Chain A
Amino acid sequence: MAAAIAALDTGNLNGGQRLAVKYFTVAIALFVAQVLFGILAGIQYLQPDFLYGVLEFNVNRMVHINAMVVWMLMGFIGSVYWLLEDETGQPVVGLKLGELIFYVLTGAVAVVVVVYLFVQWGAGTDTTRWLITEGREYIEAPRWADIGIVVAVLTFFYNVAATVMKGRVTGITGVLIADLLALFGLYLAGMFYTTNVSLDQYWWWWVIHLWVEATWEVLVGVIMAWVLMTVLGARRVVVQTWLYIEVALMFGSGILGLGHHYFWIGTPEYWFWIGGFFSALEPIPLVAMVVHAVYDSGVHRMKNANHPALAWVIAHAFGNFFGAGVWGFMHTLPQINLYTHGTQWTTSHGHLAFFGAYATINIAMFYVAMQKWRGGVYMGGGIAGAWRWKWALTLLNAGVVIMTIALLISGYEQSFIERAIEGATWQGYFAGQSHPWFVQGMQWRMWGGWLIVAGTALLVWDLLTIGAGETRKAVVPEDTQGHGGRASATAAA
């Protein structure tokens, strides 16, 4: 493996792409951390004494979810740097600054994690929130890190916007800039303290929901559009039209779909129907994305330049639809959410949605990157060691699906025993947690977890070695209707 890594030649990459692979490297390291801390937290459900008094569940879980958010964001940032020069026909403006910020951001993430692990918590003072943890789910990073993140993303935004201004403006870059602006603006909504917990959660959801169920979705739509052009040779006009359709449907349902988080936090009752109605529409754009990906693959008879990347794009289309769409829809109406809110239903949905929507597309981009880093080598059928990517794909997807189903069964049980029968008291909670049906779900979830560990190990191994001994060049399929995919960028602009 060392030889395969040493043979990687950054001379094959443009400036933005050299920075992108740095982001991808840190993203993968954090992905591994996410999986490991998830395993620790999962074990604690079954053996509560495991690491009790050393590394409590709340620390493991915090690292688990924070590593996830950061690796996915770094994957997205890397993906944007990756496609920027190709898409704009212009070297990245201010790349040196971008490089510097990458190291600052990575250093900051390392410090935050070390503090999480070794300091863990603090007194009920403002100092704790500034230096140790903010203690709010998903955005636990202390305030100093928030400010660092804002500076980092502003630099990133400058790189992107300045490059697009100087180069070619396309549908893809246009949507990208608008979306990044919204994505970063929303982060500010989580950067204040209030004692009023209803107000706190109201704005907290602006960050969490409007990221995950709106701006992140559009961002992966952008990445997907570009990947389909690059890997499949799909026509620009087709992917861009789909992108606009997805934006319309995604924001049209997702912005007011925010209301499905406003049923039980003290907010008025009109959110019942607004949140219920619009969030019920949220799966529609995800159906559109499946149709789009599958249709384009079919039109091109699945002929593509990068088999692992396309496989992960297809996994993304279906994972996004089932995880975010179907699993979200199942408990989005208030009539059922009353019994499922705050149970393992949410965990089930969360795991399938984050994996299906965001882990998959990032992994697809990692494969796109490795191909070019290796010098644009052939990555089609019959490459050496193809079993690795196929088994990594299978193990990761199977692991997440098993976990999702197992958690859902535990969630069902919780809704019935804890909520409907016992009336949601503490005794009811523990009656639910100690019930064999719940415990069995948690045991099966661990099996899913171990498959994910195996799949992750295989994935990392494969990414580091794929295409190492390959001498054939990749053939980027031409569009079957005689329109060059990427070549028509100028015409579309």
Chain B
Amino acid sequence: MTTTPWWASESAWKKIAIWVTGLSLVVLIFLTFDTMKQIAVGSPRVPDYSVINHRIEYRFDDARKYQVPVVGAEAPLFGKKLSADEAEALVTHGKKVFQGRNCINCHTILGNGAYYAPDLTKAWLDPSWGAEAARETLMIEFLKNPDKNARTFGTGRKMANLAITDDEARALIAYLKWVSSIDTNGFPYNFKSIKQGG
């Protein structure tokens, strides 16, 4: 029997496996530290929760060649300007409602979740709400009675009535408005936003 060359030996591959795994982990940890900084709330990529006091737009960026969220003029949600703490509390409540009602197993958000219902990343900016002025009311009514206000575009697929209260609906909308301000590197691409601001 011929002797095994070093590159096919068990001991060599054991060392390679350990080194490759170790190095990959070190690089991942280094990148994780950097990413944590870049996606902290209040960073350019993930704005502060008080961004819900402002108009959010989704505009084509000539340098990056895709749309990016732009924080515009003051436009408080439900007509009431919130402090940073109040905004955080409202958005937090919204995310907890999102999790408690198991939204993720029908919808996607940031593209992750289930595919039975539309992606919610830009739900706040969706042209289906019609006019900017009617948007907030329509969203509240829809969330409270989705079965009665369903628009299924011919699919017959209606959102379930999850007994969402008025407060919960407002919190969810705040959460979705904030999510629409996150810089998602152009996802969704070619999105046609609702007309805002005259």
> A interface vs B, CB < 8 Å?
41, 44-45, 47-49, 52-53, 56-59, 61-62, 120-126, 128-129, 132-137, 140, 171, 195-199, 201-202, 204, 237, 240-241, 244-245, 247-248, 251-252, 255-256, 258-259, 262-272, 274, 338-339, 341-344, 346-347, 419-420, 423-427, 429-431, 433-434, 481, 492
Contact = CB atoms under 8 A, between A and B. Distances in A.
Contact of A425 (B1, B91, B108, B127): B127
Contacts of B182: 197-198, 266
Given A58-B114, A264-B185, A195 B102 contact: no
A341 B188 CA distance: 9
Contacts of A431: 153
B133 interface: no
**Per DSSP, are chain A's interface residues mostly helix, strand or loop, or mixed?**
helix
B25 interface: yes
Contacts of B191: 423-425
Contact of A266 (B115, B158, B184): B184
B39 A245 contact: no
Given A125-B96, A251-B20, A342-B115, A198 B39 contact: yes
A132 B42 CA distance: 31
Interface string B113-145: 111101100110011100000000000000000
B181 to A, nearest CB: 10
Given A52-B160, A196-B46, A434 B115 contact: no
Contacts of B3: none
Given A423-B188, A430-B155, A341 B105 contact: no
A255 B118 contact: no
Nearest to B182: A266
Contacts of B192: 423, 425
B115 A346 contact: yes
Interface of B: 1, 8-10, 13-14, 16-17, 20-21, 24-25, 27-28, 31-32, 34-36, 38-41, 45-46, 49, 88, 91-106, 108-116, 118-119, 122-123, 126-128, 152-158, 160-162, 168, 171, 179, 182-192
Nearest to B110: A265
Nearest to B8: A241
A270 B16 CA distance: 27
Contacts of A124: 93-101, 168, 171
Contact of B153 (A241, A255, A424, A427): A427
Contact of A133 (B100, B118, B123, B128): B100
A295 to B, nearest CB: 13
A264 B38 CA distance: 14
Given A62-B105, A255-B24, A258-B28, A248 B128 contact: no
Nearest to B164: A124
A256 B114 CA distance: 25
Contacts of B1: 481
Contacts of A125: 96, 100
A271 B36 CA distance: 13
Given A125-B96, A338-B187, A201 B153 contact: no
Contact of B157 (A48, A62, A267): A48
B39 A202 contact: yes
Contact of A434 (B88, B104, B155): B155
Given A124-B100, A248-B21, A252-B20, 16 more contacts: A56-B106, A58-B114, A59-B105, A134-B99, A135-B98, A195-B41, A196-B39, A197-B110, A197-B182, A198-B39, A199-B36, A244-B14, A265-B184, A342-B119, A424-B189, A427-B128
Interface centre among B95, B108, B112, B155 (most CB of A within 10 A): B112
B45 to A, nearest CB: 5
Contacts of A258: 28
A430 B13 CA distance: 51
Interface centre among B25, B103, B115 (most CB of A within 10 A): B115
Nearest to B98: A135
Contacts of A251: 17, 20-21, 24
